[in-house]
Structure 1
Amino acid sequence: MMLLLHNAGVAIGPPHILIVPGRTSGEPRPTPVSIVSLDGDRYVVAGRRMSWVKNVRAAGAGSIQRGRRLEPVRFTEMEPHERGPVLRAYWHQHSQGRKIAAQIFEAGPDASADDFAEAAPRCAVFRLDPLTDEPAA
Structure 2
Amino acid sequence: MTTTHYRGPQGMDRAFNSAVRWLAARGVNLAGAQNLTVIGRRSGEPQTVPVNPLHLDGRDYLVAPRGTTQWVRNARLNDSAELRRGRRRRPVRLVEISPADRTPIIKSYLDKWGWEVGRFLPEGMGTDADDATIAAHAEQLPVFEIHSR
Tell me the matched-pair count: 129
Match of 1:76 in 2: 95
Contact in 2 for aligned 1:37/1:89 (Cα 8 Å): no
Match of 1:112 in 2: 129
Aligned residue for 1:88, secondary structure, equals helix
Q: Is the 8 A contact 1:10 1:68 kept in 2?
A: no
Q: In the alignment, what sits opposite 2:84?
A: 65
Report the Cα offset of residue 4 of structure 1. Answer: 2.1
What is the one-letter code of the residue matched to 1:108? Answer: M
RMSD, matched Cα: 1.9
Among 35, 52, 55, which residue is 1:17 paired with? 35
- Residues 127 and 110 of structure 1, relative CA distance in 2, 3 Å threshold: closer
Who is 1:135 aligned against? none
Equivalent position to 1:86, from 93, 96, 105: 105
Q: State how far apart, in whole Å, the 1-side matches of 2:28 and 2:21 are.
A: 10
* SS at structure 2 position matched to 1:92: helix
Contact 1:45–1:124 (CA under 8 A) maintained in structure 2: yes
Q: Which runs of 4+ in 1 moved over 4 A?
A: none
**TM-score w.r.t. length of structure 2:** 0.76
Which residue pairs with 2:6 in the alignment? Answer: none
Cα-to-partner distance string for 1:59-79 (whole Å, 9 max, x where unaligned): 111111122211000010011
- Give the drift of 1:48: 3.1
What does the per-residue CA deviation read over 1:26-77, in whole Å, with 9 as the maximum and x for residues that have no partner? 2110011111121111110114331211111111111111222110000100
CA distance in 1, matches of 2:111, 2:135: 11
Whole-angstrom distance in 1 between the partners of 2:101 and 2:143: 9
Secondary structure of residue in 1 paired with 2:32 = coil
Please identify which structure carries the higher strand content.
1
Structure 1 residues 18-27 or 47-56, which shifts more? 47-56
Contact 2:68 2:142 in 1 (8 A): no
The unaligned stretches of length 5 or more in structure 1 are 132-137
TM-score by length of 1: 0.81
The structure-2 alpha-carbon separation of the partners of 1:80 and 1:110, relative to structure 1 and needing over 3 Å to count, comes to closer
Task: Show the counterpart of 2:5.
Answer: none
Unaligned runs of 5+ residues in structure 2 are 1-18
Distance 2:43 2:106 in 1: 31
